[in-house]
Amino acid sequence: MLKKKDKYVVAVVGATGAVGKEMIKTLEEREFPVKNIRLFASERSIGKTLDFMGHHQKVEVLTDKVFDGIDIALFSAGGDRSLQFAPAAAKAGCIVIDNSSAWRMDPEVPLVVPEVNPDDLEWHKGIIANPNCSTIQMVVVLKPIYDAVGIKRVVVTTFQSVSGTGMKAIEELMKQTRDLLSFQDIKTEVYPHQIAFNCLPHIDSFMEDGYTKEEHKMVNETRKILGDDAVQLTATTVRVPVFRGHSESLNIETGKKILADELRALLTVAPGIKVFDAPAKNIYPLQTDCSGMDDVYVGRIREDNSIANGINMWITADNLRKGAALNAVQIAEELIKRAK
C-alpha cells in the first residue's frame, strides 16, 4: 500500500513515447502532487530533456537500480520492459502502474479502471495493470448498464486511431497521406498495408483461432474488470486512418429491457461519461471532438429490436488520455486517496 505523504516521487517509464508524453501532460494538468519527477526511456533518448511544470528534466536510462525512493512509476515502454523491470520496481517499494499488456491477465495483478473497479486496488502487490485502450472506454460505458440491467452479450467493432500504435504510426499515416496526394509511391513500415485512406481489420497479432490479440484482450480484460466471466463478448478490431481517438460500435444484449431514453438518463449521471446524442442536430461522438478530453463520449443510443433486450450505441474516447495516460494517473490518484 502507498504511504500517505503530501507529495510523491513519480517516475514515467517510456517518457518519450506517445503515451509517456501524454502521462507527463496529464500529471501537470491534474496538478498531481509530484514532489519530484523522474523520466526514463531507452538508450536512444539519453541526453534528451522533457519539460515538466516549466522545468527541463533529463531523460535517464532505465536499470534495475533506479527505483529506490520512487513512490509511483507509470510504465508505458512495451511489454518486454514491463516484464523485465516491474518486479524490481515493486521489490524496491515502488508501485508500478503498467500500461502494457504484460501483467493484465496475471491473477496476482489487479486490472483497474477507477470508475469501474477501484476496490481491486486493495489487493495489489506492487504492480497494477492499466487495461487496453479499447477495453477501457468500453467498460466505462458497460459498467452502469451492467449494474442496472445486467449484460448478457456484447458485439463490438472498433475504429481505432494510429496513435494507439505509437509515434511512428502517426508519422506513417502523415507521410503516406502526403505521398498519395502528390502521386508518389508510399512506404509501409509500421503496418503491413497502406493505412492512409484505408481500414485494416488487424490490430496486434493474429492467434490460432483467427482472432487478433486485441480482440482477445477486449473479451478477457472486460470480464476481469467486471469480475464476471458469464458476460459474453465478441470483437472485431479495426485500424482506421485517424490520428487520435478510438470509436466503437457497440451492440449490447442486456439482462432486462432498458429503453433508449432510460439508458440515456442512466449514462448521463454515470462517472467518466458524457452523453453526446442529438442526431437531429448532427450531434454524436467524433474522434476529432474527443482529442484531449477526459470523458468517454456516448451517442447514437437506440433500441435494437432484432432481439428482445438490444441496444446499439457509438462511443468515442481519446485513446491516449482515458485509453492510457489518464486512466493510469487516475489509478495513482485513487491510490493516494486510499493511502494511509
Q: Which of 30, 213, 223, 300 binds a copy of itself (CB under 8 A)?
A: 300
Cβ–Cβ under 8 Å, residues 66 and 60: yes
Residues 124-163 that bind a copy of itself (CB under 8 A): 153-155, 157, 159
Q: CA 190, 193, 199: angle at the middle one, nearest 5?
A: 105
Q: Are strands 95-98 and 72-75 parallel, antiparallel or unpaired?
A: parallel
Q: Which of 30, 251, 333, 336 binds a copy of itself (CB under 8 A)?
A: 251
Beta carbon of residue 165, minimum distance to a copy of itself (angstroms, whole number): 15
Q: Name residue 25's beta-bridge partners.
A: none
Q: What is d(CA 172, CA 186) in angstroms, rounded to the nearest whole number?
A: 9
| Residue 56: strand, helix, or coil | strand
Q: Which stretch binds a copy of itself (CB under 8 A): 89-97, 123-131, 301-309, 332-340?
A: 301-309
Q: What is d(CA 310, CA 329) in angstroms, rounded to the nearest whole number?
A: 34
Beta carbon of residue 234, minimum distance to a copy of itself (angstroms, whole number): 4
Q: Which of 78, 131, 299, 323 binds a copy of itself (CB under 8 A)?
A: 299
Q: Which of 267, 301, 317, 331 binds a copy of itself (CB under 8 A)?
A: 301
Q: Which of 7, 187, 206, 227 binds a copy of itself (CB under 8 A)?
A: 206
Catalytic positions: 133, 246
The answer to whether residue 286 forms part of the interface with a copy of itself (CB under 8 A) is: yes
Beta carbon of residue 298, minimum distance to a copy of itself (angstroms, whole number): 11
Q: Which of 48, 202, 213, 223 binds a copy of itself (CB under 8 A)?
A: 202
Q: Is 47 exposed, middle or buried (0-12, 13-18, 19+ CB in 10 A)?
A: exposed
Contacts of 303-309 with C-beta under 8 Å, sequence gap 24+, read 303/259, 303/260, 304/251, 307/253, 308/257, 309/149, 309/152, 309/253, 309/254, 309/255, 309/256, 309/257, 309/258
Beta carbon of residue 134, minimum distance to a copy of itself (angstroms, whole number): 14
Buried b (16+ CB within 10 A) or exposed e, 204-230: beeeeeebbebbbbbbbbbbbbbeeee
Q: What are the angstrom distances between the C-alpha of 109 and each of 87, 92, 106, 129, 323? A: 12, 17, 5, 7, 19
The answer to whether residue 177 forms part of the interface with a copy of itself (CB under 8 A) is: yes
Q: Which of 211, 266, 327, 328 binds a copy of itself (CB under 8 A)?
A: 211
The answer to whether residue 181 forms part of the interface with a copy of itself (CB under 8 A) is: yes
Cβ–Cβ under 8 Å, residues 329 and 31: no
The answer to whether residue 28 forms part of the interface with a copy of itself (CB under 8 A) is: no
The answer to whether residue 240 forms part of the interface with a copy of itself (CB under 8 A) is: yes
The answer to whether residue 285 forms part of the interface with a copy of itself (CB under 8 A) is: yes
Query: Which residues in this chain contact a copy of itself in the complex, by CB under 8 A?
Result: 153-155, 157, 159, 173-174, 177-178, 181, 192-194, 197-202, 206, 209-212, 232-234, 236, 238, 240-243, 247, 249, 251, 260, 279-280, 282, 284-288, 299-307, 310, 312, 314
